[in-house]
Every structure is written in C-alpha cells, then in structure tokens.
Amino acid sequence: MIRIENLCYSAGGQLILSGVNAEIEPGRVTALVGPNGAGKSTLLSLIGGLTEAGSGTVEVCGRRIEAWHRAELSLTLTTLRQQTHIVPRLTVRELVAFGRYPHSRGHLNEMDDVHIAQAMEDMELAPLADRQLDTLSGGQRQRALIAMCLAQTTQIMLLDEPLNNLDLNFSRRVMEVVRDRSRAGRAIVTVLHDLTIAARTADQIIALKNGRVMASGPPSTVITPEILSDLYDADVEVYQVGGKPVVLPI
C-alpha cells in the first residue's frame, strides 16, 4: 500500500532523513518510534505529501506521491499533525464534519452524517459536540482532531503522536479504535513515544535514529533491551506482565 525507497530529506543544510526504506501494508498498524529529532514526523509528512522529498520515492497505492492530485489523495489518505491551527469559533461537531469535506465538498448528505456520528462516538465526543474548540482542554481538542481524521474514512491513516495530551483511558480508547480500523483493512502509521503501547498495538515497528532506520520488524524483534538501549542511548528494560511487554527505563 505504501512503499518508501531510499528516501532522503534535508532542511537548513542538515540531513533529517537518509536512505529510508519501508513497506507498509493494509490491515496493519505500523509504529514509528525513536528519540526526539530522529525524523519520525518528517517521515510521516513525506508519506502524506505535505513535504517534498529531497530524493527517493514514496509510492501510495502504486502511484508516486507527487503524481496524486490533492483532492484525490484526501479520499485515500489522512494525516493527523502534531500541531494544528485552530479556528476559535468552530464547534467540535463542525470540526469533525470537516473530515467529510473530501467526499462532500461542503454539502453534507446522510451518509456523511453517519460517518461524523460514528467518529464522534468512537472518540466519545457527544457531550462536547456543541462546545467551541477554544473552550476545550488539550486532550479534548486532540480527540476532536482524531475524530476529524476518522470521519475522513480513508484507507490510510497517518497519525503523528495521537496520544498527545490524552489521559490513560483515552490513550487506550484511541489505540483500540486504531486497531479496529486496521482490522477493517486500513493501513495505519503512527508515531508513538510510549513503547509499551507501541509494542502492544503495532504489527510492525520502525525504529528511527538520526534519520536512519535502525531496526524494523514485528514488536518482538524490535522491542528488546539491546535495540532500545542503543536507540535511546539509555538503559532500558523490557518486562513481561501478563504475557505482554512493558518497557521501562532503568
């Protein structure tokens, strides 16, 4: 579904990504992990066509990302950005409804209403539906932004730190929804800092360091004390609790 070949990107004379190769398949959750400044958000931005690559290729559904018309791409791929400009007087429902814009061009029909309602239910936003965005907490706003991406009902979802500002309960909720969407055949690529959540949710993990892929594969092969200690330049231990991995710094 997504093929990345020898992708390089520089900004301000500094190499951000170098020779990145990856394949992302439908029906799977791929987690991008790594220390701050490793190039995770840049990689997501390049996959989503929001930034132009220096060299190398990104193919989405067999077509190079530059060849996609923006309107057409928005029916196939959505991106949740880390920082999003907020229009103050927009209500939660209105923001989520924007997720249907690629389909409706602003003229919502009954099917659009169904998808909007589903996305709001998934993020438990019904009680906040008529609240304006500038009156919400950071976590509530994050849920509204995720719901907008969900309402877009695309085959590919790129989520940059979706758990930002979310409490324990909603972090779990978001990852459940992400898993459900992947089971329905969608390709999900998400940047995660919580390695325990990454290990439990992702089917594939790509570990980036200094703009290069340091390790990639199923969680069992990447979430190991050796790789993680090397990745973060810190001592890390991986415990098994109830048969599931828990990652802790020592």
Tell me which residues touch another protein (CB under 8 A).
48-50, 70-75, 78-79, 81, 84-85, 87, 89-90, 94, 98-99, 101-102, 105-106, 152
Radius of gyration of the chain (CA): 18
Q: Toward another protein, which CB reaches closer, 140 or 216?
A: 140
Shortest distance in whole angstroms from residue 148 CB to another protein: 8
CB–CB of 224/212 below 8 Å? Answer: no
Backbone angles phi, psi at 234, to 5 degrees: -150, 155
**Between the CA atoms of 68, 174, 142 and 216, what dihedral angle is there, to the nearest 10 degrees?**
-50
CB–CB of 36/27 below 8 Å? Answer: no
Shortest distance in whole angstroms from residue 89 CB to another protein: 5
For residue 132, what is the DSSP state? B
Q: Toward another protein, which CB reaches closer, 48 or 162?
A: 48
| Displacement of CA 216 from its chain's centroid (Å) | 17
Shortest distance in whole angstroms from residue 90 CB to another protein: 6
Shortest distance in whole angstroms from residue 19 CB to another protein: 25
Shortest distance in whole angstroms from residue 87 CB to another protein: 5
Q: Toward another protein, which CB reaches closer, 43 or 197?
A: 43
Name the nearest CA neighbour of 158 among 57, 48, 84. Answer: 48
Q: Toward another protein, which CB reaches closer, 98 or 230?
A: 98
Q: Toward another protein, which CB reaches closer, 29 or 145?
A: 145
Instruction: Give, rounded to a whole angstrom, the gap between the first and last alpha carbons of the chain.
Output: 38
Query: How buried is residue 67: exposed, middle or buried, by Cβ count under 10 Å (0-12/13-18/19+)?
Result: exposed
